[in-house]
A = this chain, B = another copy of it.
Amino acid sequence: MATVSRTLAGNYPVSTETRARVMAAVESLHYVVNVHAKALSGGVAGPVALVIQDITGPSLAHVAAGVEQEATSRGRLSLVCSTRGDAAREDDLIQLMREQHAAAVVLVGGVVPDDAYHRRMAEYAKALDAAGSRLVLVGRPPLPAGTPATVVEYDDRGGAFQATSHLLAAGHGRILFLGGEPGLSSAEQRREGHLAALRAHSVPYEEELDVPGSYTRTSGYRRVRDVLDAGLDFTAVLAGTDAIAVGALAALREADLRVPRDVSLVGFDDVPYATDLTPSLTTVRVPYEELGRTAVRLALDREERIGGDNHVVLSTQLVIRESVRPPR
Contact = CB atoms under 8 A, between A and B. Distances in A.
Given A72-B81, A273-B273, A278-B278, A30 B64 contact: no
Interface residues of A, number: 49
Given A55-B68, A61-B55, A101-B36, A81 B81 contact: no
Interface in A187-215: none
Given A35-B100, A55-B65, A276-B250, A78 B77 contact: no
A79 interface: yes
A56 interface: yes
Contacts of A95: 32
Identical chains bound together, number: 2
Interface string A89-112: 000000110111100000000000
Nearest to A80: B80
Given A40-B37, A276-B246, A77 B100 contact: yes
Interface of A: 30, 32-40, 44, 47, 54-56, 58, 61-62, 64-65, 68-69, 72, 77-82, 95-96, 98-101, 127, 130-131, 217, 246, 249-250, 253, 271-273, 276-278
